[in-house]
Amino acid sequence: MKKAAILVASLCVAGTASAHSGVDLYGVIDMGVAHFAGGAYGSTTMLASGYQASDRIGVKGNEELGSGLDVFFQAETGFCGNGSPQAGNMNIGVPLSNSKAGSGPFCTGGGFMQRTSNLGIRGSFGSLEAGRLYAQSFFIAASADPLGAWVQNVLFPVPYFRFSQAIQYATPDIAGVTGVAQYALGGQSGNTSADTGYDLALRYHHQALGLALGYFDYKPAYAGSTPAAPLVGNDKFVQLEGSYDFRLAKLIGYWSKMSSEHGLAINTGEASKNAHIWALALTVPLRAGTLMTSYSAYDDTDVSARNARQYTLGYVYPISLSTNVYASYAHISNNAQQSFAVADATDFGFAPEAGHDSSGFAIGIKHSF
């Protein structure tokens, strides 16, 4: 009888715990037929695995601890919905001659469960988490273009999308103001400062107005991952972003200053030490769907031959709350020493060529679950 009572009590406790906890499976699958022109090998037509948004699947959940506290976690991996952009149609392992390196068989993130993975605690104080996290500088740049990361463009000149070994604190919302501070541990033997970085973001939102200020500072470890060749100096970004929703249209503006003492190799172009990046964008809600357009510029303040300009046009029509169809076009004009290339959200476009223009068109469908 005593054992039965203990069993019943245990089941009640388990039921109570599950009522205050939850785990969700979620993901995105996006298929778009894309045509890219202007690459080193000519034009390419392909089924893009994630043009509007990169394909992904993940789990996330939380456990309530009481007193307004809860523990949360997330683990997310990319996948290639079209099979794999890096292999031929028959999976014989022949790379597409016009494709960029991307992230291997997972298309984004770099490896299994490397898009993001975190564990944290939150409450009235804000939230504290650790793991592999998106850089706040990426979020600010992505929000500046209504097409976001649809089209890899001049707003994303370097691949600082995520921090590994990162610790992040986010403040609670105080009268529309929020702040985020990230720090990434380097984990490099013999050099505690190598491969470390921090990323700060301050945001304000009130009714139709949105503002963001960001500062990014990262110290690369080595040139070509070689301990014998440490890089000198840090990579730094200062970012400003603002938006105002006029209801008939939403206007977005963005400006960023990038600096690097050793020089950042932008795509396959020449290394840039100082550059300004700016953009203007417009989102127009229609009776059926949303129209989006943007114009952005990359200005190397040392060598004008490394400058580039881009314009984009996109349209989204929601079929349901979870599914939409889309179409987009983008064109990049590169100066003689620059090599930006239009690509999809997984960065599988084509191999760029310095001094040549690049363009891309896509039409597709995206489903979120």
Phi then psi for residue 39, to 5 deg, are -80, 175
Residue 365 has pLDDT above 90, yes or no: yes
User: Do 291 and 312 form a contact (C-beta atoms < 8 A)?
Assistant: no
Band the pLDDT of 286: cuts 50, 70, 90. Answer: very high
Mean pLDDT of 132-159: 76
Q: What pLDDT, on the 0 to 100 scale, is given for residue 13?
A: 43
Band the pLDDT of 41: cuts 50, 70, 90. Answer: low
Q: What pLDDT, on the 0 to 100 scale, is given for residue 14?
A: 44
Instruction: Report which of 334, 365, 362, 340 is spatially closest to residue 352, judged by C-alpha positions.
Output: 340
Q: What pLDDT, on the 0 to 100 scale, is given for residue 264?
A: 66
Domains and CATH numbers, the chain: 63-78+95-326 (2.40.160.10)
Residue 86 has pLDDT above 90, yes or no: no
Residue 157 has pLDDT above 90, yes or no: no
Mean pLDDT of 111-121: 86
- Strands 358-368, 323-334: parallel, antiparallel or unpaired by DSSP? antiparallel
Taking the C-alpha atoms of residue 76 and residue 112, their distance in angstroms, rounded to an integer, is 8
- Structure tokens belonging to residue 244: 């105002």
pTM over 0.85: no
| Least trusted range by pLDDT, from 4-18, 167-181, 192-206 | 4-18
